[in-house]
Amino acid sequence: MNHRRTGLLLILPALATVVLLFGGGLGYGFAQSLGLAGFTDTPVGLAAYQRVTDGPAFTDGLLLSLWISTVATGLAVAIGVAAALALRHTAPGQRAATFLAQLGLPVPHLIGAVAIGLLLADSGLLARAARTVGVALPALVADPHAVAVIAEYVWKEAPFVLIVVLAALGGPVAEHERVAATLGARPRQVLRHVTLPLLAPSILAVAVLIFAFTLGAYEVPALLGSAYPQPLPVLAYQRFTAAELSGRAEGVAIALLIAVIAVAAALAYTGASRRAVGRVTGARR
């Protein structure tokens, strides 16, 4: 039964779906960005990439994208890990928290964006509440620091971190912690030298997924972001749908640059997670 051929036959439909529908689009998009295919008047070569990266709109957009993804990932991870550590020793608490967090996970980001918009807009609930206590808030939606965009991502992804870290805490972490405590480590040392490094692979995996996702997400900054600077996905969509033909190649070029950054982050993570666990257990996975 474990013949290779049966295995290949079973995996082929899924693989073909991803390779043809996903890889095909990616490859064809790459060809378009190089002026090799599609409705385009872009000359063959890197012209689209040069046009796109030339000028402040791309640089500002890239910096804004990196700012949004880095801050959102950092905050979501910090909040999620802290909540998981606070809940780890109570079974009912964990179950309830996991259930609550699970409920939040499938809420589409677009709905999150609408909700956060109602909350943080100039006439939103937060501004109303602040006014009753006599505080005037700065603009949080469509502001240059993308506060509302980051807030939506953190709101949506922190429960995700909580669930993953709670699951990871069920592994051999407690044993290693007991060993360290028996050997005289203080709680702070246990956390710093045992717990966090052992959780590092899960935390890093989640961080990479959040980073990659927020880097490529369109609807949240499109709804809550400012008109300038625009994060890369919004910029890519605008170029792609622009009136002039060359915009299509430029839009695809920006989208592919985002993909390169996201994949680079994933590769960096693979190495980092191995090192982190190896430091504690002495084993390389």
Partner 1 sequence: MTETGLATGSRPVQEARPATGMRRPRRPLGVGLARPTVLILTGLWVAGPLLPLAVQAFTDQWFYPDLWPNRWSLAGWEQALGPQSRLAEAVATSIGIGAAVAALATALGAAAGRALAWHRLPGRRLIELVLLAPVLVPPFAVAMGAQIVYLRAGLADSLTGVVLAQLPAATAYATLLMSGMWAGVDPALERQARTLGAGAWRAFREVSLPQLRGGLVVAAMFAFLISWSDYLLTLLIGGGVVTTVPLLLFATAAGSGNQAATAAIALVAVAPPLLLTALAARQLAGRDTALLGVGR
Q: How far apart are CA 233 and CA 220, in angstroms?
A: 10
50: Cβ–Cβ under 8 A, 6 or more apart, which residues?
none
Query: Cβ 283 to partner 1, closest distance in Å?
Result: 14
Query: Does the CA dihedral 104-107-110-116 come out positive or negative?
Result: negative
Closest CB to partner 1 among residues 38, 60: 38
Closest CB to partner 1 among residues 63, 238: 238
Closest CB to partner 1 among residues 59, 105: 105
How many residues are present in the chain? Answer: 285
Q: CA dist 167 to 87, 214, 267, Å? A: 12, 23, 23
Query: Cβ 168 to partner 1, closest distance in Å?
Result: 6
Q: What is the 3-state secondary structure (H, E, C) of 205-251?
A: HHHHHHHHHHHHCCHHHHHHCCCCCCCHHHHHHHHHCCCCCHHHHHH
Query: Cβ 149 to partner 1, closest distance in Å?
Result: 14
Tokens 């609930």 appear where?
125
Closest CB to partner 1 among residues 43, 171: 171
Query: Cβ 3 to partner 1, closest distance in Å?
Result: 8
Closest CB to partner 1 among residues 140, 166: 166
Query: Cβ 143 to partner 1, closest distance in Å?
Result: 17
Query: Cβ 256 to partner 1, closest distance in Å?
Result: 6
Q: How far apart are CA 251 and CA 115, in angstroms?
A: 29
Task: Output the CA torsion 81→85→90→94 (10° steps).
Answer: 10
Q: How far apart are CA 10 and CA 18, in angstroms?
A: 14
